[in-house]
Every structure is written in structure tokens, then in C-alpha cells.
């Protein structure tokens, strides 16, 4: 048991037990399942973002329609109130010099 071969074999056995203990404490992660889980989480987040964006777009569309209706009402009201007005100020009489000479 004191030979170099026995000592080396004992070390290898100890390393094997240490490796087994580490595997039991920290089991290997199934990378494919982790990637699938991450993909599903990202997909759900993107769907939530798109849903929120569609809600914002719908709200914005309604607000723009209300603004357009208000502008149309103001335009109709402005036409009804807009009457021709008499000009204010001095109006010079313009003569054409060519007509006077003839």
C-alpha cells in the first residue's frame, strides 16, 4: 500500500469521489432546456410589448380622430362667422399712364 502505484490509485479514487460529490451538489444543467426556457420567456416579453404597443396605437388613433373632429367643427364654425369685411384704410386711385395719353 505504500508503493507509488498504490498511492497514485488512491489519489485517483479520491478525485473520483470529489467529482461525484460535486456532481451531486451541482447537477449539470440541461442547456437545451435552459435555452428553451429563455426563448419562451423572451417570446412572452415580446408579445407583451407588442400588446402594449397596439394598445398605445389604438389610444393614439382615438385621440387623433377626436382632434380631427374638433378641427372640422372649428373650420365649419369659422366659415359661418367669416363674412366679407370692408377694407380699412386709404385706397389710392390708380391710373394707368398709357390710357391718359391716348
Across residues 47-75, what is the average pLDDT? Answer: 85
What is d(CA 97, CA 99) in angstroms, rounded to the nearest whole number?
6
Q: Name the H helices within the chain.
A: 4-25, 31-81, 97-101
The whole-number pLDDT of residue 4 equals 86
**Residue 86 reports pLDDT greater than 90:** no
Report which of 27, 72, 46, 15 is spatially closest to residue 7, judged by C-alpha positions. 15
Higher pLDDT, 93 or 51: 51
SS3 of 63-80: the string is HHHHHHHHHHHHHHHHHH
What is d(CA 92, CA 50) in angstroms, rounded to the nearest whole number?
66
**Residue 68 reports pLDDT greater than 60:** yes
Higher pLDDT, 63 or 95: 63
Q: What is the pTM of this model?
A: 0.36
Q: Which grid cell sits at 91?
A: 385706397
Percentage of the chain beyond pLDDT 90 is 23
pLDDT tens by residue, 25-49: 887 778 888 889 999 999 999 998 8
The whole-number pLDDT of residue 55 equals 74
Amino acid at each position: 500500500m505504500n508503493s507509488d502505484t498504490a498511492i497514485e490509485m488512491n489519489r485517483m479514487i479520491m478525485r473520483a469521489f470529489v467529482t461525484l460529490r460535486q456532481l451531486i451538489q451541482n447537477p449539470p444543467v440541461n442547456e437545451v432546456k435552459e435555452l428553451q426556457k429563455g426563448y419562451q420567456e423572451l417570446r412572452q416579453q415580446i408579445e407583451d410589448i407588442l400588446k402594449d404597443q397596439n394598445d398605445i396605437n389604438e389610444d393614439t388613433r382615438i385621440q387623433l380622430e377626436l382632434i380631427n373632429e374638433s378641427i372640422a367643427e372649428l373650420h365649419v364654425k369659422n366659415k359661418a362667422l367669416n363674412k366679407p369685411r370692408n377694407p380699412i384704410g386709404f385706397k389710392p386711385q390708380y391710373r394707368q399712364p398709357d390710357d391718359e395719353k391716348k
